[in-house]
Amino acid sequence: MFQSDTNGFAASAGFTGVTMTTPRPGRVILLPRARAPASRFDWDRFADLDLVVDLGQRIGSRDWWLGLGLVATLCLSAIGAGGHLTPLPAALHPMTPAQADDARPDSIAPLANGATTGRLATPTRLVEALAEIPERPRLELTARIGRADSLAAALRRVGVGRDDATVAAGLIGSAAHGIAPGTGIDLVLGRRATRTVPRPLDTLGVRAAFDLRLELARVDGALTLRRVPIAVDDTPLRVTGTVGGNLVRAIRAAGVPASQAAEYRQNLAYVVDLQRQVGRRDRFDVIVAHRHAATGENETGALLYAALRPEHGNPVELMRWSYAGRPAFFRANGESARKGLMRTPVDGAHETSGFGLRLHPILGYSRLHQGTDFGAPTGAPIMAAAAGKVTFAGWHGGHGNYVQVLHRPGLMTAYGHMSRFAVKPGATVAQGQVIGFVGSTGLSTGPHLHYEVWVNQKPVDPTNIKFTGGTTLAGGEMAKFGAEMARMRGLKAAGTQTAATDDGKARRRG
């Protein structure tokens, strides 16, 4: 505030003012800078002070001793103050074991744990005694048909009354030819009037066939039948892939069931030498009957088409076709596949020794090897190379367990070193029928099959035998066969391409 005599303020009014002289234009007046009052203590000195010291670092330094002193001070302070603290009071009256057992039925606990005492809850004014425990209004059950079992017997086992079981079995039997063993039956039993009578059958459902479900329901006191068709896609399933180290393993790794994979190999062995004519880069092509239900189930059926596509050369194609009422596999030109001897009469085998003069591995001198050896694991099934009659099955010197099969006059095959027989002398066998199992009996260095072919009582090389004859399709039958073959070739492949490695594992290809 400024004071001036011209403004009516007296100089002696008790107020000391500041008189300023009006500066001349262009002159700058500098005022002194204001200063804060001086502090009695300089707190900035603690800015660089580290009160949290790592006692594991810089041991012996000034900061370390400072931290140690601080820790000691805090510990002594806690010890000094601890004597004046009063502990919290504990439970005054703990329950006895008997009191705890009495209280446990009234406590809240997970129902899944069940009762722990077996005692009932303490009765109160709200508890009303019941004469008997009430039954559930309905029971949902599942029955399963066993072998040599009937539908009525399966229903009786789960509590269905005799009359309802008989009626239900009659209704289901009128709509289905038979329920396969192991089929599950979903049913619901309703409320009954008294405990002395069986519960009534309210509903029942069963998968009578792959494309049909049958349901029973009680309407106006009587059971009624309802058919529920299930949509099914029966497009055959095609699987392709590379052979790799083992043909059958590659097919199995691609998702083909074991029985269809074995059938593929067996039929292909009639026209292809699987030991010499199959390479690692060759491709297999398999088509099997397949059904997919709208409910998600899948069913695989018989082998329909079997092909081998060599990396170099013409493909070999076989297709199942019914001729004269009998299904058989035919080549693309209409010739029957089974017109000669099987090239490899044992599954999962590899050739270890061929026909001709060789050094005997046990006797140590050279002599004619009258057949072909196929290495295979002990117990592998040995099949008849063609249909015929067993003329010998027994011990045969160095051949060990030995079987001879006469196919026609002048043509015979023999199988040696078997572990055991599956046929007896005089038996009639079909082509591909199991006649024994691989072993190492007789003069043998390990499990294998010794396979011989005799023509006019002379041993010949099995790999050089060629046959003619067999069934050949012609005319209208050949035209139908060709149309079906074209349809098979046009199916899209749905399988994953795989290749079996030498160790039997499958490598997935893109």
- pLDDT of the residue at 430: 86
Same domain, 219 and 255: no
Q: Report the chain's mean pLDDT, rounded to a whole number.
A: 81
Give me the mean pLDDT over the 157-183 stretch.
91
Q: Tell the burial category of 103 from Cβ atoms under 10 Å away from its Cβ (0-12, 13-18, 19+).
A: exposed
Confidence of residue 469 (pLDDT cuts 50, 70, 90): low
CA distance 357 to 134: 90
Residue 457 burial class via C-beta count within 10 angstroms: exposed 0-12, middle 13-18, buried 19 and up: exposed
Cα angle 422, 425, 428; round to 5: 75
How crowded is residue 477: how many other Cβ atoms within 10 Å of its Cβ?
A: 14
Please determine, for residue 1, whether its predicted confidence score (pLDDT) is greater than 60.
no
Q: Which of 168, 146, 299 is nearest to 223 (CA)?
A: 168
Q: What's the domain range around 162?
A: 139-229
Q: Does 250 fall in a domain?
A: yes
The predicted pLDDT at position 121 comes to 64
pLDDT score recorded for residue 39: 56
Last residue of a domain, one of 212, 229, 246: 229
Contact 384, 429 (CB under 8 A): yes
CB 214 within 8 A of CB 227: yes
CATH number where 171 lies: 3.10.450.350
**Residue 499 confidence (pLDDT):** 42
- What mean pLDDT comes out for the span 225-232? 95
**Co-location of 455 and 362 in the same domain:** yes
Q: Which residue has the higher pLDDT, 509 or 346?
A: 346
Instruction: Please check whether residue 247 is in contact with residue 284, taking contact to mean a CB–CB distance below 8 angstroms.
Output: yes
- Give percent above pLDDT 90 in the chain: 37
Whether residue 127 lies inside any domain: the answer is no
Looking at residue 501, its pLDDT comes to 39
* Residues 334 and 374 grouped into a single domain: no
pLDDT, greater one: 39 or 131 = 131
Q: Positive or negative CA dihedral for 93, 97, 99, 104?
A: positive
* Tens-digit pLDDT profile for residues 7-65: 444 444 444 444 455 555 555 555 555 555 555 666 666 666 677 778 888 888 888 88
Looking at this protein, which amino acid is placed at residue 27?
Answer: R
User: How high is the pLDDT of residue 212?
Assistant: 93
CA distance 37 to 79: 43
147-162 CB burial, b ≥16 within 10 A, e <16: eeeebbebbbeeebbe
Any idea how long the chain is? Answer: 510
Residue 83 lies in a domain: no
Q: 506's torsion region: left (phi>0), alpha (psi -120 to 50) or beta?
A: beta
For residues 203 and 292, state if they share a domain. no
Residue 424 lies in a domain: yes
Q: How far apart are CA 399 and CA 417, in angstroms?
A: 5
Burial class (CB in 10 A: 0-12, 13-18, 19+), 31: exposed
Shared domain check, 354 and 459:
yes
The whole-angstrom separation of Cα 452 and Cα 455 is 10
Task: For residues 326 and 337, give the distance between their C-alpha atoms in angstroms, rounded to a whole number.
Answer: 14
How many domains are there within the chain?
3
Residue 161 has pLDDT above 80, yes or no: yes
Q: Which of 162-176, 272-286, 477-491 has the lowest mean pLDDT?
A: 272-286
Contact yes or no for 15/9 (Cβ under 8 A) = yes
| CATH code of 450's domain | 2.70.70.10
Contact 336, 470 (CB under 8 A): yes
370 within domain boundaries = yes
pLDDT tens string 62-120? 888 888 888 899 888 888 876 667 777 666 677 888 887 777 777 777 766 666 666 66
Q: Does residue 67 fall inside a structural domain?
A: no
Same domain, 283 and 326: yes
Instruction: Give the separation between CA 506 and CA 502, rounded to whole angstroms.
Output: 9
Q: What is the pLDDT of residues 360-410, one digit of tens each?
A: 666 655 667 788 888 888 999 999 988 889 999 999 888 899 999 998 888
pLDDT of residue 96: 84
Question: How far is it between the farthest Cα atoms of the chain?
Answer: 162
Contacts of 142 (CB under 8 A, 6+ apart): 158, 184, 185, 186, 187
Residue 434 has pLDDT above 90, yes or no: yes
Whether 494 maps to a domain, the answer reads: yes
Q: Is the residue at 169 inside a domain?
A: yes
pLDDT tens profile 345-373 = 887 677 777 776 766 666 655 667 788 88
CA distance 63 to 330: 97
Q: Which is higher by pLDDT, 213 or 12?
A: 213
Q: What is the pLDDT of residue 166?
A: 94
Q: Are 303 and 363 in a shared domain?
A: no
pLDDT of residue 502: 40
**8 A C-beta contact, residue 363 and residue 385:** no
**Rounded average pLDDT over 427-445:** 89
Q: Which of 349, 350, 342 is nearest to 432 (CA)?
A: 342
Residue 26 Rama label (left phi>0; alpha psi -120 to 50; beta): left
Same domain, 203 and 247: no
Answer whether residue 226 shows pLDDT above 90. Answer: yes
Residues 390 and 452 in one domain: yes
Q: Are residues 358 and 451 both part of a single domain?
A: yes
Boundary residue ending a domain (179, 194, 229): 229
181 with 285, same domain: the answer is no
Q: Could you tell me the pTM of the whole model?
A: 0.55
Q: Examine the domain organization and report whether 387 and 367 are in the same domain.
A: yes
With a CB cutoff of 8 Å and minimum separation 6, the contacts of 310 are 277, 278, 279, 282
Of 109-113, 416-420, 478-482, the poorest mean pLDDT is in: 109-113
Q: Amino acid identity of 339? A: K
Q: What is the DSSP letter of 112?
A: G
